[in-house]
């Protein structure tokens, strides 16, 4: 499920690409979706500032990542799929929810909420990375998720405050290290009860290959939980 195209106002492109590569390597068939709604705003990524008087559609922008093969989120059902995965990027906090503005008092897009509840009720796994675990924390009360560490540690975890917000949303935050032991990949947390799998990704200032491998751990566990 995508939220636009570009880290500051949509889907984090590296995360989406990594998810697709790992799903392909795992032999999964993939269909991409996005809500057919306007973006909260448009960010000029070269300046990191809002582009005034410009508007874009989340589905149309997400189609850039999907190479045109995408459908409205309203068409996503549990009957047709074994699992659902949400990449990060500020679009998850701006377009799939209002977390970026409202924090613990945020609202979740009604189709996103429906999808999360439907997959949870059906006992089908849900994967999320980077900032997107806030969606599960808000919708699935008591779900265990990770966004990495709970302290900034000199800038290594610049979004560490999100962990506290997850607790306020009703979720349980589990601290995960950037690197697991001596193996160069991020850790993924598996909430076996709720079948929710999360990994920090770009919540940490880390090397791209570590982020790629961490997302791989998340995808691998999602696929494992499908039982196929």
Active site residues: 130
The answer to whether 47 touches 91, Cβ cutoff 8 Å, is: no
Which DSSP symbol is given to 201? Answer: G
Bridge partners, 127 (sequence order): 85, 197
Whether the CB-CB separation of 4 and 34 falls below 8 Å is answered with yes
In terms of C-beta density within 10 A (0-12 exposed, 13-18 middle, 19 or more buried), how is residue 216 classed?
buried
Query: In the numeric block, which tokens belong to residue 58?
Result: 């989340």
Q: Are 73 and 64 in contact (CB under 8 A)?
A: no
Residue 56: other Cβ atoms inside 10 A: 18
Nearest alpha-carbon partner for 147 in 99, 77, 106:
99
Helix, strand or coil, per DSSP, at residue 44: strand
* Structure-token match 């377009």, residue found: 95
């Amino acid at each position: 499920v995508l939220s636009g195209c570009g880290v500051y106002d949509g889907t984090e492109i590296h995360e989406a690409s990594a998810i697709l590569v790992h799903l392909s390597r795992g032999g999964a068939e993939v269909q991409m979706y996005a809500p057919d709604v306007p973006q909260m705003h448009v960010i000029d990524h070269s300046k990191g500032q809002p582009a005034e008087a410009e508007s874009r559609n989340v589905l149309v922008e997400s189609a850039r990542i999907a190479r045109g093969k995408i459908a409205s989120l309203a068409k996503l059902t549990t009957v047709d799929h074994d699992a659902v995965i949400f990449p990060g990027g500020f679009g998850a906090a701006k377009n799939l929810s209002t977390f970026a503005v409202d924090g613990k008092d945020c609202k979740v897009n009604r189709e996103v909420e429906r999808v999360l509840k439907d997959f949870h009720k059906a006992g089908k796994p849900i994967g999320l990375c980077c900032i997107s675990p806030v969606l599960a924390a808000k919708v699935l009360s008591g779900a265990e998720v990770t966004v990495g560490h709970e302290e900034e540690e000199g800038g290594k975890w610049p979004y560490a405050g999100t962990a506290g917000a997850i607790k306020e949303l009703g979720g349980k935050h589990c601290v995960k290290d950037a690197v697991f032991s001596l193996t160069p990949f991020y850790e993924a947390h598996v909430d076996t009860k709720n079948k929710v799998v999360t990994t920090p990704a770009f919540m940490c200032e880390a090397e791209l290959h570590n982020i790629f491998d961490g997302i791989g751990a998340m995808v691998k566990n999602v696929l494992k939980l499908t039982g196929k």
